[in-house]
Structure 1
């Protein structure tokens, strides 16, 4: 079965590319297919959205790349539209490919906790206790051609990322998909992860993202009750000595089939 989703370029409202907008919206990468057995190139869209998977703000990055079945990283050149970035990833050899936006460093902005949640503020509108914080975003997706393999799943070891324990091309509806959340290669315990579904626009009532928490070893499991496209995401904030604080966001898109 070809695991596919045709990319619809349905427009959301065009938003300003401010740090506040990027923080409020969720990043994602979405391929035309997850099973690339019948093709040699996969097109992937990168965007920020408030409704999966309708693009709203194009995800710009100088580090788009694909990590192939041999573990080699190859840069990709994006095409930018207002609401979406498009890249084409070559998938000529059998195995699993990791398509990534690369680490995106946003501008430094003022941020403060409001009702227990961090928020970014435009210049001149920040409260007195606000601090300088830079947004760091990384979005990824895995596709496979033929039998999946594990080389592309190896942790990068820098920044925030999910290391798949369950192969992303083998995620099945009604079964646990297990990952570990890492920061600079080390497990993060007690880290909240949100799970969002692709078709919330068509639901009778909007379904809020589900949240799970990583265990003492940084592992967490998600289980979906129906086949479809999903996004899992987490945020982690650090304050390096002598530097602005950093707000890391990592997002992974996957497909689940019966």
Structure 2
């Protein structure tokens, strides 16, 4: 509730959704390593932290629910997390990497929120899913306004040599197609990312690259780029460390004075946690 009040207050001062995105609490999935090698038993392991925080990768707010976590192996097989632990500020789980190649860990969600007037003329607000929509909005409601959000949060881990099977897009929502493999990013080298919206190039799409550890720097350190007509952007990778690559569609609409930002009928967001390795 305090966060909601803060966002509304900031909106009323004329700040855009773009600037808010750099300040709001962020969900993240952070693997202990994005490149691993098998041990003596032939298996490799990673531990994944899952949380929502104000400072990126800081454990300062609340755990990220792991309901619906989707883990895909190099061969396309679905895997289950092991040793799941639910904490006060973060959740964690282990992942056993038996096969060589790249694994994708993802949380994908869809939600519907909006408002309506009841038969007495009172404005009611709600947040739910497509399945709960009929229950959330009464049949006699009027002036119904809906906004649908599709969110995708991902991270990638390679056991030995990287592979590309898990990098194939689904054609739904906002997605990253990593032209440069996400577990083979190195500081000082160029990397190219391609963004798709419903399987088509997301042209003129704003993309943000934010490093963790802001509490030690005192500045956000955000890098912002815009995709070209093919939905691609190329940049020279900054210093080594863990980063979040994120984007949202559509761009923020112009804001009316004294009013909160307008919510579009549909919104899609994407975020990936990647490691940039030393040169």
Asked if TM exceeds 0.5, the reply is yes
**How does 1:57-76 map onto structure 2 within 5 Å?**
57-76=62-81
Could you tell me which runs of 5 or more consecutive residues in structure 2 were left unpaired when the two chains were aligned.
9-20, 116-123, 127-143, 252-263
Q: 2:92 aligns with which of 83, 86, 89?
A: 86
1:107 Cα shift?
A: 5.1
Q: Which of these residues, 82, 88, 95, is aligned with residue 101 of structure 2?
A: 95
Q: Report the counterpart of residue 44 of structure 2 in structure 1.
A: 40
Structure-2 separation of matches of 1:174 and 1:137:
30
Are 1:158 and 2:163 an aligned pair? no
How many pairs were matched up? 221
**1:166 shift after superposition:** 0.3
Structure 1 residue aligned with 2:237: 224
State the superposition RMSD in angstroms.
3.1
Give yes or no for contact 2:211–2:221 (8 Å, CA) kept in 1: no
Q: How far did residue 143 of structure 1 move?
A: 0.7
**Cα 1:202–1:82, aligned 2, differ >3 Å: closer, same or farther?**
same
TM-score by length of 1: 0.74
Q: TM-score, normalised by structure 2?
A: 0.69
1:94-243 equivalence runs, <5 A:
94-101=100-107, 103-106=108-111, 108-109=113-114, 123=125, 131-203=145-217, 205-237=218-250
User: By how many angstroms is 1:136 displaced?
Assistant: 2.8
Q: Determine which structure has more spread, i.e. the larger CA radius of gyration.
A: 2
Shift >4 Å, 4+ stretches: 14-18, 75-79
Unaligned runs of 5+ in 1: 1-13, 111-121, 125-129, 239-243
